[in-house]
Chains A and B, each alone.
Chain A
Amino acid sequence: MEKHIISMLGEKDHGKSTLLGNLLIQTGAATEHRINEAKKYTKKGRFEPGYILDSFEEERNQEMTIDTTRAEVVYKGGIYEFIDVPGHLELIKNMMSGASHGEVAILLVSVKKGEGLKPQTKRHIFLSSMFGLRALIVAVNKIDTVNYGKGVFEATKATVSKYLDSINFTSPVVYVPISAYNGENLISKSANMKWYDGPTIIDALVGAFKGGRTKGGSGTRAIVQDVIDHEGKEMVFSMLASGSIKSGQKVRVWPSGEESKVRELYLKGEKAQSAGMGNNIALLLDGFPRISRGDVISGGDEKPASTRNFGALIFLIARVGTAGKLELKMNNNAITASISKVNSVTSPITGTSAKPDGSLPASHAARVQITLDRDYPVERFAEHKELGRFALYSNGKFSGIGIVL
C-alpha cells in the first residue's frame, strides 16, 4: 500500500495529540494493549487519547508533547502516517524535524475562549508553507465548547483564511469543524453539526492525496553520496532526486561541469538498464571525471540553476548576524556561506517589517542573497525540492531554514 505522510501543526493544547489519539482509536489502529496502557495514566477521571502518542513519562506528567512521534492509520486502501509534533515554542526544532517530512498538514485551531489563531499557530503555518505542502487541512477544534456554533466556525475560517492570504499561501485548504476529544467529524459525521456539509478529517485527507505521488522537477538530478572502490571499479553511489537515468546515456557532473557517460548502472545491487526518481543507484562512469560526495549528476545537456550565488527566503528561529559566516546543510553536506545582501525582513506573525541592523531577529522571514564559499550545485526549490532547501546554522547552532528562490 502507498503511504501518505501528514504532519500535525498548531499551538500547544489546541489538540494535536488528542485528535491523533482518537483517530487511532476510531480506525482500530491502536491496539487494546496500547489503549489500556494509556488509560492507566488517566487523571481526574478523564481519559486523554493523546497519551497513546505521548509515551514519555515526562510527556504524560506534564501533559505536553516533547518530541515528535509517528503513528499510522489504514483507511480505504491507503496508509496514512501522522507525525505528531510538540506545540511549545522552545521545542520548535523538534516540530520542524517532524514537519519537514509531511506532504499534507493538519492544522489545529481551537475555538475555545481565549485560544484561537495564536502566534505559534502562525509560525507553524509559515514554516509548513516553506516546506511545501500538497494541501492544508484546518481542523477547527473544540467546537463542542461553543455549542457547535456555525457562526464561530465561519468566523475562525475567515480569520485563518485572511492570514493565509497575507503570507501568499498557495496550497489548497479545507476547513473541518471538529471535537478532537469527543472524536466528532474525524471519521464519521457528527450529528451535532448538521449545518456542516463538508468532509470529515479522514475524507479530507483522502481527497488531499488524490492524483498520486508528488512529482519531481524536470530533468535528471542525482545527488552523489559516496564514491567507493568495488572490485577495482570506481562506483558512484547516488540518489536520483528527479528524472531518470539510463545505461549508456551522456551525463554531466557538477559543480565541475565535466561530461561523462554511464558505462554501468546498478539498482539494489543488480545491474540495470535504467532507474527512476527516488532510486538509490550505483554508477560506473566513463573517463573517471572528478567526482565526490555532494556533487550532482545531471543529464548531458542540463545544468544546475546556480553553483555560487542565489536568492533565498529564510525563516529564523534564533537571531543571526548578517556579517559573519553561516553554514548551510543540504542533503547532509555542510557548506560555508555568507549573506551578501538583505532585501527584506518581515515577521509572518505580526505582519510588520524590520530593518536589518547587522542581524536578523528570530521569528522573522528574510529575503536575502547568499554567496557560497565554494561551488556547490543548487536548484530553485520550486523546481527541485531536494536541491533547493537547507537548514541554516550560525556559530554551530541550528538557527533556521531556507529555500532557494
Chain B
Amino acid sequence: MMEQNLATLEEKAIYVLRESKSKFKNVAALWSMGKDSTAMLGLARKAFLGKVPFPVIHIDNGIDFPESYEFRDSLAEKWGMELIVSRSEIKPEMSGFACCGSNKTDALKKTMKEYGFDALIVSIRRDEHGIRAKERYFSPRSRDFKWDYKNQPEELWNNYSSREKGADHLRVHPLLDFNEVDVWNFIKTNKIPINPLYFAKDGYRYRSLGCTHCTVPLKSNADTLDKIMAELRETKVEERSGRQQDKEKEYVMQKLRALGYL
C-alpha cells in the first residue's frame, strides 16, 4: 500500500464536503473517534475556513474504550464542535451482526429523525472492503435506512444525487478515494490529534477501532505515526482483521450495509 498524492485527495474531499453543505439543508457527520472520521473533521476545517460547520454524532453503546471517550470530549471542546451523543443499549444476548446491524442503526435512526438531518457524512473508504468499493460519493438511503445496492443512482462526473424519490437522507462519502495509509499521511502532515489506542503498547496496537466487545488488537511495535505508515506499506493483513462482525458469515458486510450499517 503506497501513499497517493495527498493534495489531490484533499481537494476531492473538500469539494465533496462543500457540496454536501451547499446542496443540503441539515447536514450532520458521524464521528466514531476513529482515525477516518477524525481525519474527515480535519478536512472539514480546511474546507470551511477553520470550522466544523455541522454537528457530529457519536453512536454510543456505552462500551467504547475509555480512551475514546476522553479523546472525544477533549477534541470536541478544542475544535468547538457540536457533539450529539446518540445512545444505544447493549443487550446481553447481542453480538456482532445484531449489535452492529440493528442496535447501532436504531440509535442512529432515532437521532436522524429527532434532528431532521437530510444528509449524513460518513468516513468510509473504498479500500476497506469489496462492498465499500461499490459505493457512490452521494448515496441515498430509504426511510428504513436501506441501501438499494442493486439499483444505485447514476453518478456521472461530479453530478451527485439529491434527496428525491422517497429517500430519507443521503450518505456523503468524502474519504472514498483515501486508502488507509493516506489517512495516516493526512493526520501526520496536518498534525491532527488522534485516539491513542492506535499506537502500539506492549507489542500490540489497534488498527481499526470498534467497541470493546468486538475489537481485538494486533501484534505491532508501531508506536509513532511514521512507524504506523511504514507498517502499512508492507502489510499483507486486512485492516479489519481485528473486527469480529466481518467474519461471522459470508457477505456479512453487504448485508449490514444494505440494512443501513456504516
Contact = CB atoms under 8 A, between A and B. Distances in A.
Are both chains from one complex? yes
Given A34-B238, A67-B149, A67-B152, A331 B136 contact: no
Interface string B5-39: 10010110011001101110000000000000000
Interface stretch (A91-99, A203-211, A363-371): A91-99
Contacts of B160: 332
Contacts of A113: none
Contacts of B50: 269
Given A1-B4, A1-B5, A225 B49 contact: no
A53 B49 contact: no
B53 to A, nearest CB: 8
Contacts, number: 120
B11 A56 contact: no
A2 B7 CA distance: 10
A55 B238 contact: no
A68 interface: yes
Contacts of B23: 332
Nearest to A71: B133
B126 A53 contact: no
A97 B133 contact: no
A293 B2 contact: no
B187 to A, nearest CB: 15
A237 B130 contact: no
Contact of B159 (A31, A58, A391): A391
A280 B133 contact: no
Given A56-B131, A56-B149, A268-B14, A32 B236 contact: yes
A14 B131 CA distance: 23
A280 B19 CA distance: 11
Chain A contact surface mostly: mixed
Contacts of B18: 225-226, 237, 280
Given A56-B254, A70-B133, A226-B18, A269 B47 contact: yes
Given A55-B254, A57-B254, A278-B11, A70 B126 contact: yes
Interface string B44-81: 01111110000000000000000000000000000000
A230 interface: yes
A181 interface: no
Contacts of B179: 72
A225 B238 contact: no
A232 to B, nearest CB: 12
B236 A100 contact: no
Contacts of A58: 150
A2 B241 CA distance: 28
Given A33-B237, A268-B14, A2 B134 contact: no
A315 interface: no
Contact of A55 (B133, B158, B237): B133
Nearest to B17: A280
A244 interface: no
Quick one: which of B3, B48, B129 has the most chain A CB within 10 A?
Answer: B48
Nearest to B1: A74
Q: For the side of the interface on A, what is the size category?
A: 35 or more
Contacts of B22: 225-226, 237, 293
A329 B11 contact: no
Interface in A358-397: 386, 389, 391
Contact of B136 (A71, A97, A268, A398): A97
Interface in B217-238: 236-238
B159 A269 contact: no
B156 A33 contact: no
Contacts of A235: 49
Given A33-B237, A225-B19, A401 B156 contact: yes
A31 B8 contact: no
A71 B50 CA distance: 33
B154 A280 contact: no
A391 B149 contact: no
Contacts of B251: 56-57
A101 B250 contact: no
B17 to A, nearest CB: 9
Given A268-B14, A332-B23, A100 B157 contact: yes
B18 to A, nearest CB: 5
Contacts of A307: none
Nearest to B190: A268
B155 interface: yes
Task: List 10 tightest A-B contacts by C-beta distance, closest first.
Answer: A55-B130, A226-B22, A93-B154, A268-B46, A269-B46, A100-B156, A329-B159, A280-B14, A57-B251, A69-B133
Interface of A: 1-3, 31-34, 40, 52-53, 55-58, 66-72, 74, 79, 93-94, 96-97, 100-101, 225-226, 230, 235, 237, 239, 266, 268-269, 278-280, 282, 293, 329-332, 386, 389, 391, 398, 401
23 contacts: A1-B5, A3-B8, A33-B238, A34-B130, A34-B238, A40-B250, A52-B130, A56-B134, A56-B251, A70-B133, A72-B127, A72-B179, A94-B152, A225-B19, A239-B15, A266-B49, A268-B14, A269-B50, A278-B8, A280-B15, A332-B158, A332-B159, A398-B153
Interface of B: 2-5, 8, 10-11, 14-15, 18-19, 21-23, 45-50, 126-127, 129-131, 133-134, 136, 149-150, 152-160, 179, 236-238, 241, 250-251, 254
